[in-house]
Chain A
Amino acid sequence: MDLGPYLVLATLEGAVTAAVLALTAVGLSLVFGVMRVVNIAHGEFFMLGAVLAWWVATSVGGHPALGFGAALIAAPLIVGALAMAADMTILKRLDYDPERTIVATIGLLYIIQQLTLMGYGPEARPVEAPFNTRLAIPWVEHGPEGWQMIWPWGLGTTTYKLAVIGAAVLILCAVWAVMARSRLGLVMRATQADREMAMAFGIPVERVYAITFGLGAGLAALAAVLIVPIQQAHYLMGADPLLLSFIVVIIGGLGSLPGTVLAAVLIGLSDGIISVFFSPTLAKIIATLLVALVLVFRPQGLFGKRAT
């Protein structure tokens, strides 16, 4: 295969990564923006979503679409409820102190991960996609008889992957609509802007925090349900999404949603393209160093405007 079809393939795969990454990172960004809490356990909520999706899909049975549909609704709700419970029992009692909540969410990370290991086991298990038709992509090449259309081997995608991208765009629009247009979003933005003033105006800040934390975790779980027919569910799968979400949120500017989405698209696409040319480990080394250096030299993020 030439370089051209390779790039198209890498871009398509990158777009799927970007779509899932954007959902996960927006969840992390939301929690950081509104609550000023760095949630290290975010990747584990992602993992929990995938594992629950497997569990729901296998216990529903019948046509794959039925199980997947049930998982799509149930898994984010369960994960969101668990996260709200964690917020009310642990984070609230720490008064959302930034450093202590980080230590507590590290603890939460190990608790969720190890309980999953005990309950679900160390195997990786797939969930069947509701629909999965292969689509070959044509390519134009200059051959001996002039320009002609060819169908390079291996260049193609599936309907499911395209659906993931579409679903992610829809969900992101819904998140934006909630934040910008609904009363809940208004209250959340008010809490973000000034916690004390919000409280003085009678906004139930603690409830807003619990909902935000649940929503953030639910978004991660939703992203995981979407990806689980492509990747398998495994109890250690939370590490990569956590790292990538961190990169995205920091580069996009801590707590800024449009910046986060933009950075997710950028990172997701370049991740796909870079890993075609470099080893994935090298790509990760560069990415982690980039995050550290951005935080040191440009703490407001590459696209962020206000300092945090």
Chain B
Amino acid sequence: MRALSLHLGLLAVLLALHFVLPAYHHGNLARVMVLASFAMGYNILFGYTGLLSLGHALFFAAGMYGMGLSVQYLGLGAGPALLLGVLTGAVISGALALLALRTSGVAFMIVTLMFAQAGYLSILYFSEWTRGDEGFVLAQAGRMLWGIDLSDPNPRYIAAFVLFSLCLLLSLWLVRAPFGRVLVAIRENEERVRMLGYDTFAHKLAALILSGSMAAAAGAAYGILFGYVGASFAAVQYSILPLLWVLLGGAGTVLGPFIGTLFMFYLIDLSSGITTAYMLIAGVALVLLTLFAPQGIMGELRRRLWKGLP
């Protein structure tokens, strides 16, 4: 009950902020909410199932390009295009899962990294369709949903908020459902879970597809809300960032991805005003986190204050 009210409280605060934030931070927070949905997708796989993927940019980009290409070449509106984006992400994550889940540990990390790299290079290779590195600006028709213009800051914030709430509530439900508990058990001791008679492969497969679809939804929404589809979102940097956000906020906590994304977004935003080498901050944060706080912010909070934090 306490947990539910905490998360609903956060959603209420975010909704209230819509009416009070100045324009610049209003836009930033919309961005953070979409990226945090990406991070929550990553968290299902990394935080709860214990599988460290270095290739989630593939799913983010799958959603973004599944959406963007169908707007561009099929002339779909935002709604069907978004669905198609999520579907693309689900199919690609399912296909990748069938191959990558045959490995574990370091090999799993390298396999996901390589597949994501192949995806990124394919986007560059088919530049006739995808416009490669340059990317393309989404047609205005693809940014309309039920007659609402999603490129306008106000509907955009609300759309980001809806996506974020859905992902948050889904995560919250997941970790308390029997399925989520099995995932956590797999993270802690896969052998034992298998001995208890669970099909661990099927559970990991479902976790990866769910995680990939959520990342794809975030990617598609990012494209629609901010109007740009480009290959840079498929680059290795976008596989590292969700890892960083989740590690910072706290892997295996529902609120961690949001906290981590918010914190890192503003850290990079502030430092990019000073230097072009803003990824330095990300590097230093990664090293410091692995050294001193592998639990992240919410993880430390759970350890010290509130044992039952989901």
Contacts and interface: CB of A to CB of B under 8 A. Distances in A.
Nearest to B236: A239
Interface residues of A, number: 39
A93 interface: yes
Contact of A292 (B114, B243, B276, B294): B114
Contacts of B278: 114
B88 to A, nearest CB: 18
Interface stretch (A45-53, A59-67, A94-102, A166-174): A94-102
A292 B121 CA distance: 14
A118 B272 CA distance: 13
A107 B105 CA distance: 19
B290 A288 contact: no
Contacts of A109: 283
A99 B276 CA distance: 29
B272 to A, nearest CB: 12
A292 B54 CA distance: 13
B99 A111 contact: no
B291 A289 contact: no
A6 B294 CA distance: 54
A279 B109 contact: no
A299 interface: yes
Given A250-B110, A288-B118, A292-B114, A114 B103 contact: no
B283 A299 contact: no
Nearest to A101: B290
A108 B286 CA distance: 8
A184 interface: no
Among A110, A281, A285, residue most surrounded by chain B Cβ atoms (within 10 Å): A110
Contacts of A296: 99-100, 102-103, 107, 111
Nearest to B247: A103
B276 A289 contact: no
Nearest to A281: B125
Nearest to B294: A100
Interface SS of A by simple majority: helix
A203 interface: no
Interface in A100-152: 100, 102-104, 106-115, 117-118
A284 B119 CA distance: 11
A196 B279 CA distance: 38
Given A99-B105, A292-B115, A246 B110 contact: yes
Contacts of A285: 118, 121-122, 125
A114 B149 CA distance: 39
Interface SS of B by simple majority: helix
A65 to B, nearest CB: 34
Contacts of B286: 103-104, 106-107, 110
Given A98-B105, A243-B117, A295-B103, A110 B280 contact: yes
A111 B284 contact: yes
A301 B162 CA distance: 47
B243 A118 contact: no
B290 to A, nearest CB: 5
B287 A107 contact: yes
Given A292-B99, A296-B103, A113 B287 contact: no
A118 B275 contact: yes
A110 B103 CA distance: 27
A284 B121 contact: yes
B284 A102 contact: no
A107 B285 contact: yes
Contacts of A284: 121
A282 interface: yes
A293 B96 CA distance: 11
Interface in B115-131: 115, 117-118, 121-122, 124-125
Contacts of A114: 277-280, 283
Given A106-B240, A296-B103, A281 B121 contact: yes
Contact of B111 (A103, A107, A111, A295): A295
A118 B280 contact: yes
Contacts of A106: 240, 243, 283, 286
Nearest to A235: B277
B110 A108 contact: no
B282 interface: yes
Interface of A: 38, 90, 93-94, 98-100, 102-104, 106-115, 117-118, 243, 246, 250, 279, 281-282, 284-285, 288-289, 291-293, 295-297, 299
Given A103-B243, A295-B107, 9 more contacts: A100-B290, A103-B247, A104-B287, A104-B290, A107-B282, A117-B276, A285-B122, A292-B111, A296-B111
11 contacts: A104-B286, A106-B286, A108-B287, A110-B282, A111-B280, A111-B287, A282-B125, A285-B125, A292-B99, A292-B100, A295-B111
